[in-house]
Structure 1
Amino acid sequence: VQVAFVQGGADSQPTLPGQPKDDGLVALGSLFYEPVWLFYREDVARRRLRRDAIEGLADLRGWRLNIGTPGSGVPNLMTRLFEANRVDSSSVRLRTLGETPAVAAMLDGRMDAVVFASAPESLLVQMLLQTPGIRLFDFAQAEAYSRRYPFLSPVTLPRGVVDLARDLPPRDVQLIAPTAMLVARDDIHPALIQLFVQAARSIHGEAGWFQRRGEFPSERSLEWPLAREAERTLRGGTPWLQRYLPFWLANLIDRMWVVLLSIVAVLIPLSRIVPPLYEFKVRSRVFRWYAQLRDIEESVDDREDAAHRLLARLDELDARVERLTVPLSYADELYALRSHIQMVRGRIVRAAPPAAPSTPVSPQTPVSSEQTNP
């Protein structure tokens, strides 16, 4: 189970007020009031108390009282209330029937009173509020109960809210009400928390017998620490991005804005550094050959380097430069280098010593035999 509805005060081992529980659970908000309805038979009150109404929980000594099935939350709550009123639970004839069988038993006279926590829309609550001879207990000390038990809230059942024509109830009735909470495991995904809180607002945000419109879901009366994402959604409402974008995209952007801001903060200074670095890298492709070109030019006056060797080195340099590629915006740098290569080539040619003229061989006059023989 990842998410559950939990009634306030249902934990059998409550923590101290203001001390958060540490059991791997977080609250997503309180959803609605679940008032404690204590219905009893008027005839039993007249017979036992000599009056029509119960004035306090101490009057229930000796009564047959149904407190609900074990684990429903009401037994633990009633145990605390009895202890607060110094009533020994053994002095009350407690029963643990379900709500429907208990109500049927009370109507048949086999049960004196029933107590359960439920929303006012419950059919059993609606029926008992309009049943003659059945009265609802008025928690006159509701404010005091709420101060001693933070999970309880004092609520008022307004006069005539059940039936205006019949004026039911005939007077305001004070009740105590734990709140139903939406509780989840602390490892639940934040996106799901946001969806649950939004769904709770659309379902439980309307007005009712005990709350005004927009009062729930709420951060009040929580027994577990409120999840951070639930707190953000409760206070901020639906993110405006979700009004125009799909949920998955809006949620992604909403969670990535910190990263995006960090990226922008890094890109702003980089936008000033990267262009000069790029320009230097491109121009260095061209300028790196000037070192060799200057070395060749400085060797022109060196008599030890023959012109044909310098021209060979220059031809090799020129061939490499021809294979060089640069962006069009830097083509002028490349063509300037090639023109400088040609300029050095011309200087080498001009500085080369002129070739020595070849001496033509004159034809020798044949020697006659008369000249050789005296």
Structure 2
Amino acid sequence: MPNQLRFTLLSIRDLLVSIGPFILLTVALLVLAFWWLKPTPPRSVILATGPEQSAYDEFGKRYAQSLAHFGIEVKLLRSDGSSDNLKLLRNGQADIGFVQGGTADIGYDDEESVVSLGSLFVEPLWLFYREDSARKHMQSDTIHSLSDLKGWRVNVGTAGSGVPRLFNTLLDVNRIERQSIDMMELEQTPATVDFLEGKIDAVVFASAPESLMVQMLLQSPGIKLLHFPQSEAYSRRFSYLTPVVLPQGVVDLSQNVPANDVKLVASTTSLLASSGTHPAIVDLFAQSAISLHGGSGWFQKAGEFPSLEHSEVPLSDEAVRAIRNGPPFLQRYLPFWLANLVERMWLAMGLIIALALPLSRIIPPLYAFRIRSRVFRWYAELRDIEQRVEASPEQTPDLLDELDAIDQKVGKVVIPLAYADELYALRSNIQMIRQRLKAHAGSTAPIDH
């Protein structure tokens, strides 16, 4: 191997050895920060939706498609509705779920266990009734208030949906005895079948207009939708309710369905996440909410949702940032996994760099010490030889042999060219001591008579 290449490789090796502890410390800090911050989101997440063919079920499928582009699998967990979804979030069976305002019993403990990703859409209270039932009970094909339902068979949905709780609240505020109405709690699909067959007089849903059941019943002959003329008053009494209007002809312009504007009361549905859900997952769901719910609809204008209002629990910081500012800056130019890693780790990386920069200043002195130590270590032996010759002049021949052995070993020492002067200085000093030893040997030699 040419000497020049040998010296270069030696210099690189010494540099790597000197910088090794610094690199190991930096890597250890990065690993510790990675373990502590957990920047990488899980590959799958559980979304609690609602009954089959409900609006929640449909939106759940859309979220699954949206997050699949980022490599995240969304597992849909069907449930009875809002109240059931909140229970699933509380006990850890779901990571995220749809919860409708006013239909779930949200308490103080939920403010610490769940966070809101914002309001997504309004869900009117749809009360569909049969015209023949109205004629049977009221001698008219139209009813005008909840008090007209006395003696009716009304399905209010399962307890897990939260609709019974909301409907009972409306009955109480109207001073209607609950026992005056034959209320049933069948699931949405079988209840709709019985309703269409005439076994049930009325059904109550709390759902977005995207629900297939709602759209089908709005266009079914012999089925009418209850008009809530006091919708504004309801919203003033209950903060989670808001008045909405189903515009004339919005369902079917050609058939003019509905034939008149219909006033309804509605609550806003939010996307809630358990407090342990990874921030990156929350961020992706909030971004998807913008594309899935940001358009215009029957009850909202474009850009009105998702909204940071009407939240019954604290808002997630990631969701607030995503709704206000859109995708993070890095995510617009980098793959999601890389942008998320940098975004979650940048603060820790900054602190590590701030700590590492001062420590890096010891590398040049440490490198120089390693090189020079190969030379300086021989000076101790040279000093020992000088002291021994002074104490025992008769050992001079032996000391000369030791000095020659040291000279041979020093001749095999290899150091970078930048420090060659140190080596040559050592060899010069060895030669100087050799001359002194020889001179000392000559002066102490016995005179031959």
The TM-score normalised by the length of structure 1 is 0.76
Secondary structure of the 2:442 match is coil
* Structure 1 letter corresponding to 2:105: P
Secondary structure of the 2:209 match is coil
Q: Displacement of 1:149 after TM fit?
A: 3.9
Q: Identify the residue that residue 47 of structure 2 maps to in structure 1.
A: 3
Which residue, out of 247, 250, 255, partners 2:344? 255
Which residue, out of 326, 343, 361, partners 1:237? 326
Q: Identify the residue that residue 369 of structure 1 maps to in structure 2.
A: none
Q: Identify the residue that residue 14 of structure 1 maps to in structure 2.
A: 105
Q: Is 1:305 matched up with 2:393?
A: yes
Q: Displacement of 1:10 after TM fit?
A: 8.2
Q: Is 1:32 matched up with 2:76?
A: no
Q: Displacement of 1:3 after TM fit?
A: 2.5
Q: Deviations over 1:177-224 (max 9, x none)?
A: 234444455444444444444444443333221233344444444455
Which residue, out of 72, 75, 81, partners 2:161? 72
* Structure 1 letter corresponding to 2:183: L
Q: Deviations over 1:67-110 (max 9, x none)?
A: 23443332221012212222211122324455566556666766
User: Map of 1:1-374 to 2, 5 A cutoff?
Assistant: 2-5=46-49, 6-7=81-82, 8-9=99-100, 14-15=105-106, 19=108, 21=110, 25-40=114-129, 54-99=143-188, 111-130=200-219, 134-165=223-254, 167-227=256-316, 229-297=318-386, 302=390, 304-306=392-394, 307-354=396-443, 355=445, 358-359=448-449
Q: Displacement of 1:167 after TM fit?
A: 4.7
User: Hey, what's the Cα distance between the residues in 2 that align with 1:142 and 1:199?
Assistant: 31
* Structure 2 letter corresponding to 1:305: P
Given that residues 4 and 183 in structure 1 are in contact (C-alpha distance below 8 angstroms), is that contact kept between their aligned partners in structure 2?
A: no
User: Hey, what's the Cα distance between the residues in 2 that align with 1:273 and 1:303?
Assistant: 42
Given that residues 103 and 161 in structure 2 are in contact (C-alpha distance below 8 angstroms), is that contact kept between their aligned partners in structure 1?
A: no
Q: Deviations over 1:126-169 (max 9, x none)?
A: 34445566543333443443454444343332344223455544
Cα 1:314–1:208 change in 2 (3 A) is: same
Given that residues 2 and 184 in structure 1 are in contact (C-alpha distance below 8 angstroms), is that contact kept between their aligned partners in structure 2?
A: no
The structure that is helix-richer by fraction is: 2
Q: Displacement of 1:353 after TM fit?
A: 3.0
User: Hey, what's the Cα distance between the residues in 2 that align with 1:26 and 1:118?
Assistant: 22
Given that residues 9 and 178 in structure 1 are in contact (C-alpha distance below 8 angstroms), is that contact kept between their aligned partners in structure 2?
A: yes
Secondary structure of the 1:87 match is coil
User: Hey, what's the Cα distance between the residues in 2 that align with 1:231 and 1:328?
Assistant: 60
User: Hey, what's the Cα distance between the residues in 2 that align with 1:61 and 1:32?
Assistant: 31
User: Hey, what's the Cα distance between the residues in 2 that align with 1:238 and 1:153?
Assistant: 30
Q: Displacement of 1:15 after TM fit?
A: 3.6
Give the CA RMSD over aligned residues: 3.8
User: Hey, what's the Cα distance between the residues in 1 that align with 2:219 and 2:229?
Assistant: 21
User: Hey, what's the Cα distance between the residues in 1 that align with 2:174 and 2:411?
Assistant: 102
Cα 1:21–1:141 change in 2 (3 A) is: farther
Given that residues 247 and 258 in structure 2 are in contact (C-alpha distance below 8 angstroms), is that contact kept between their aligned partners in structure 1?
A: yes
* Structure 1 letter corresponding to 2:429: H
Given that residues 42 and 135 in structure 1 are in contact (C-alpha distance below 8 angstroms), is that contact kept between their aligned partners in structure 2?
A: yes
Q: Which moved more, 1:267-276 or 1:96-105?
A: 96-105
Given that residues 20 and 225 in structure 1 are in contact (C-alpha distance below 8 angstroms), is that contact kept between their aligned partners in structure 2?
A: no
Cα 1:313–1:236 change in 2 (3 A) is: farther
Q: Displacement of 1:36 after TM fit?
A: 1.0
Q: Displacement of 1:270 after TM fit?
A: 1.8
Cα 1:286–1:36 change in 2 (3 A) is: same
Q: Which moved more, 1:349-358 or 1:154-163?
A: 349-358
Q: Displacement of 1:30 after TM fit?
A: 3.9
User: Hey, what's the Cα distance between the residues in 2 that align with 1:160 and 1:20?
Assistant: 44
Secondary structure of the 2:179 match is helix
Q: Displacement of 1:50 after TM fit?
A: 8.5
Q: Displacement of 1:4 after TM fit?
A: 0.5
User: Hey, what's the Cα distance between the residues in 2 that align with 1:271 and 1:112?
Assistant: 80
Unaligned runs of 5+ in 2: 1-44, 50-80, 83-98
Given that residues 10 and 77 in structure 1 are in contact (C-alpha distance below 8 angstroms), is that contact kept between their aligned partners in structure 2?
A: no
Cα 1:198–1:340 change in 2 (3 A) is: same
Given that residues 26 and 224 in structure 1 are in contact (C-alpha distance below 8 angstroms), is that contact kept between their aligned partners in structure 2?
A: yes
Cα 1:341–1:104 change in 2 (3 A) is: closer
Q: Displacement of 1:268 after TM fit?
A: 1.4
User: Hey, what's the Cα distance between the residues in 1 that align with 2:236 and 2:354?
Assistant: 50
Q: Displacement of 1:242 after TM fit?
A: 3.4
Secondary structure of the 1:321 match is helix
User: Hey, what's the Cα distance between the residues in 1 that align with 2:340 and 2:254?
Assistant: 50
Between the two proteins, what is the percent identity of the paired residues?
53
Cα 1:177–1:327 change in 2 (3 A) is: farther
Q: Which moved more, 1:49-58 or 1:70-79?
A: 49-58
